[in-house]
Structure 1
Amino acid sequence: MSDMTQIFSEFLGTAMLVLLGGGVCAASNLKKSKAEASGWIVIAMGWATAVTIAVYVSGFMGPAHLNPAVTVGMAIAGKFSWSLVFPFVIAQVVGGIVGAIVVWLAYLPLWDETEDQGAILGTFATGPAVRNLPANTMTEAIGTFVLVLGLLAFGENSFAEGLNPVVVGILILAIGLSLGGPTGYAINPARDLGPRIAHQILPIKNKGTSDWSYALVPIVGPVIGAVLAAGLYLVLPL
């Protein structure tokens, strides 16, 4: 595939990821939603299936990273060209913005019914259960370490044709259920930054602040985790 096709695939796949993942958060968080208060298990399942579908949508055109931390980790591990890292990251962030805007459109009448600013922001971006920025960053690093090491390990195994996105979805489900409680498991800078930008610019009643003081955590933590996972992969006796 051409470079432009791969870059577009990252935009499209990340938009689909955020549309379906942010959509399940909106379904659970917004007042008068038929899925209101459906809970963490539904959100974790929603994000896992969102990743699966997004990888299918993107994967026939490119590597389907859909995540700047994954892109950086794959480049460090020698699995991806450094020349495409910056274009991929830009495409992923823009895809995150677009996906979040479509979530807003899909739930358009429900925003005015919701007064909880945290619930509104939580449909777009992640936030900590207990605000401790160093600890929150470490949690995001651990989750992303598991993600990137898992993806690299999958590359060393053989799956039935077409099954790989399902296995990736199971990995996301495991991370969400086991490690998602402290921070909401962004484990993906584009998944958090793109929708946070959308939250900032969209005309949502009662939306409050976009909490930019927290925004570096789901960027720095995932990058640290990806670098550590790729570094471990490079020293493994393969």
Structure 2
Amino acid sequence: MKIEVKNIKGEATGRSVELPKDIFGIEPSEHAVYVAVTHELSNKRHGTHSTLEKSEVSGTTKKPWKQKGTGGARSGSVKTPLWPGGGIVFGPHPHLYKKDTNVKLKRLARKSVLSIKASENRIVVVEDFHTLCADLPKTKEVYGVLNNLQLTGEVTVDNGKRTKPFQKVLVLVDKTGLVKDEKSAKVYENFRKSCRNIPGLKVGVVNNVSTYELMNADTILFHESAIKNVNAAFGAAE
């Protein structure tokens, strides 16, 4: 499967790159995608939620009133969950949500998402344009590239039932070529800063992009250098 490479003006360069069939053309595994995404989202949780039980609530331990003779219901503590400000019954406490995912399953999940996006023509390959930000972050320049590629503005979803104000675009770069020296690392940092103020635009590294990031994007925009190294990132045998 071949896909043409576009320049920053949105025009065809006359070059094309081969999308490996074992990465962009497999039978998608919905179960693998489900497991990978749920594990990734679970691992993002801090698990710091906490409530106080009856024994942990601050307050007096004195009995509110005598047991008999008041005409009211008996009560032994103001810390009981029945009282305002009392303890919480079976409330949440801090704990870890970390879940380990099999490496082969994670790889299969990412390949499945890439295959889905490829079948829906939602993968675009463009010449590396991080050099636009060689000296300073330039959001306007990056937005201009997206506009030329028709990746800005409203997008129709749910089979035409509604529209979203902007597309979610994931730009995948090959970071290994961008951090080989201090100057290259600065260019990459400027490029990342240029992208962060554009609604819906995210920057990812092809070597460690997550399944959720791939699945959440409307369009995946590959730098030409990143697509050439996609085998190294996803091509290991199952």
Q: Same fold (TM over 0.5)?
A: no
**Structure having the larger proportion of residues in helix:** 1
Larger radius of gyration: 2
TM-score by length of 2: 0.26
TM-score by length of 1: 0.26
**Structure having the larger proportion of residues in strand:** 2
